[in-house]
Chain A
Amino acid sequence: MRYVAVWAALLVLLAATAGSSYIPMGGWNAFANMAISSLKALLVALFFMQLRHEGALVRLAAVVALVWLALLFGLSWTDYSTRGASHAPWSARP
């Protein structure tokens, strides 16, 4: 019964994402999409994948994967966010 409730919540969230994309919110649309998707993922992980009942080790595995993904994004972003800010003497100016 709990599973059915989770499934219903997931469908409501799906409707919310799909609906929100028709409301002009600029950059906040993307934010809403990602926030809702993360919430959906959390529901699936906690209930369907039983993460709630798992021990510390399994939770750690899940968290480490996300942290490492964040490292890939974050440290690459040190480059992309400042690429145009100033130029090394040896690199060509655009």
Chain B
Amino acid sequence: MSYLTEGYTLRSWLTTHDHKRIALLYAVAITAFFFVGGAAATMMRLELATPAGDLVSADTYNKLFTIHGVIMVWFFLIPSIPSVLGNFLVPMMIGAKDMAFPRLNLASWYIYVIGGAFTLAALVAGGVDTGWTFYTPYSTMFANGHVVLVIAGVFVVGFSSILTGLNIIVTVHRLRAPGLTWFRLPLFIWANYATSLILILATPVLAMTLTLIALERLAGIGIFNPALGGDPLLFQHLFWFYSHPAVYIMVLPAMGVASEIIPCFARRPVFGYRFMAYAILGIASIGFLVWGHHMFVSGQSLYAGMVFSMLSFLVAIPSAIKVFNWTATLYKGSITFSAPMLYALGFVGLFTIGGLTGLYLASLALDVHLTDTYFVIAHFHYIMVGGSVMAYLGGIHFWWPKISGRMYPEMWGRAAALLLFFGFNLTFFPQYLLGYLGMPRRYHEYAPELQVLNLFSSAGAVVLAAGYLLPLGYLGWSLLYGKRASANPWEATGLEWQTSSPPPQHNFHETPRVERGPYGYDPVR
């Protein structure tokens, strides 16, 4: 009797308190949003295949990149790993029967769905053209779209994030199995714990800031309007106080996934475990000190710019520790290039490129040249798509046997991983060059001499789209026809592998006892 066979009715799913079922509810919802956001991106890349603005109007293009950003950030990336893999795995990895607050967990999912409904309603009603950043005074005084409706959607989904974060923190503190001390926790738990801290400390600031935008738009007065003594830059400070740490909400859990996969397929304990754990906490906290690097050319004080620039360089230190330690974990390992490993290695490489180009943007002087160009677009897509989405897919493959009780077709998995890696670089590497040449973001037309690089990018987007559809196909196929998975097909060491695949309703037949640290792998087995 597994959690999947506890009930077959729709009702049994929609009223479940089982964290594993709730994780799957999230998986279905975010996958749907991923393809909506992806469709918008596809339209944009089609438009940009030619220099002239011929496929869609400028107005439509603005709405496309807004909805792409809003959906991908808040309805896919942020809930992706914490709410799907985190929900599924956190209780299992710490030997608990469920999350600390199962009803709250289900409520989070419903809140997510309600927020999504608001956003989709705005989309159907005609969309918004402010960009996902809702900058004032455009969003408060001039934009014609359904700003308030989208803000309502983001506000609501924010509470879903907060409640998930709160649930994870309390679960990790209160429900660890006997013997599972903090420094015996897998790094995936550390990563989701730190992410949850960011979720509860940053998300409320965004919620209130967006409320203030909506109020100012509705009432005609507010604190961002300079005519009343307000300050439009205040919005940017408040917005980026959330939205820079939000990058770490997306990438820390991805680091957690990589830290599980790489030791398993290198058959080596993770190198420098404690440093990895401290680096996670370091990134989560330093990440709160750097938001002003989004405002270097905004009219923010130069001195503030210098402070934020210097602090931004600091984030590179814990990030580099992680990259070096993943690499050192591979050293003298016996490496298997299975599909999850390919995704994880792809994550490390792409994250490194994205991170290093982030240093260009953190340099005050260089940013004047690069800001608001495709260089920025390429940089954050390397982090958020090359990093987070690759890791998410790697995690889905790695834990697929546990989640579904079936093996995915290995060859297809590897093919998709390679295709995505290739398609991703073809799409986004040319954008670094385009940005460096001065192509600004958020325009639906561009100078004709930039067409060759844009064509590469659009061609890459086609490959990428195919790469994303593949897993949907073969993972779906494996649900019905895949080979039955054993309890521990990868011979991995985590507690989640010590129970059957798929697990029973309350995860373990007997509460596990933990006597040693994680990653007890041996390369010469």
Contacts and interface: CB of A to CB of B under 8 A. Distances in A.
A–B direct contact (CB < 8 Å): yes
Contact of A82 (B205, B234, B297, B303): B303
Nearest to A74: B289
Contacts of A72: 205, 238, 241
A66 to B, nearest CB: 11
Contacts of A83: 300-301, 304
A44 B336 CA distance: 59
Contact of B292 (A57, A79, A81): A79
Given A57-B173, A71-B289, A75-B289, A88 B237 contact: no
A52 B241 CA distance: 32
A78 B292 CA distance: 10
A87 B304 CA distance: 12
Interface string A19-58: 0000000000000000000000000000000000000010
B292 A75 contact: yes
B301 A78 contact: yes
Nearest to A77: B304
A85 interface: yes
Interface in B268-310: 288-289, 291-292, 295, 297, 299-305, 307-308
Given A64-B201, A72-B241, A76-B237, A86 B302 contact: yes
B466 interface: no
Contacts, number: 55
B368 interface: yes
Given A57-B173, A72-B241, A79-B233, A87 B302 contact: yes
A68 B301 contact: no
Given A78-B307, A90-B297, A68 B302 contact: no
Contacts of B289: 71, 75
A85 B301 contact: yes
A85 B304 CA distance: 11
Contacts of B288: 68, 71
B304 A79 contact: yes
B301 A75 contact: no
B99 to A, nearest CB: 18
A91 B241 contact: no
Contacts of B305: 88
Interface in B164-199: 173
Contact of A91 (B237, B292, B299, B307): B299
Contacts of B307: 75, 78
A79 B301 contact: yes
A40 to B, nearest CB: 23
A73 to B, nearest CB: 10
Contacts of A87: 302
Contacts of A65: 201
Interface in B287-341: 288-289, 291-292, 295, 297, 299-305, 307-308
Given A85-B301, A90-B368, A79 B201 contact: no
Contacts of A86: 302-303
Nearest to B300: A79
Contacts of A80: 301
A79 B237 contact: yes
Contacts of B238: 72
Contacts of B292: 75, 78-79
A57 B169 CA distance: 11
A22 to B, nearest CB: 27
Given A68-B288, A79-B233, A85 B303 contact: yes
Contacts of B301: 78-85
Contacts of A81: 301
B302 A78 contact: no
A88 B301 CA distance: 8
Contacts of B173: 57
A85 B237 CA distance: 19
A26 to B, nearest CB: 21
Interface in B124-158: none
Interface string B45-78: 0000000000000000000000000000000000
B176 to A, nearest CB: 13
Contacts of A64: 201
Contacts of A82: 301-304
B302 A88 contact: yes
A60 to B, nearest CB: 11
Contacts of B368: 90
Interface centre among A72, A79, A84 (most CB of B within 10 A): A79
11 contacts: A75-B291, A76-B234, A76-B237, A78-B303, A78-B304, A78-B307, A78-B308, A82-B302, A83-B301, A86-B302, A90-B368
Q: In the A-B complex, list the 9 residue pairs whose CB atoms are closest, starting with the nearest.
A: A79-B304, A82-B303, A82-B301, A78-B304, A83-B301, A76-B237, A79-B301, A68-B201, A79-B300
Given A82-B304, A88-B302, 7 more contacts: A68-B288, A79-B233, A79-B295, A79-B301, A81-B301, A83-B304, A85-B303
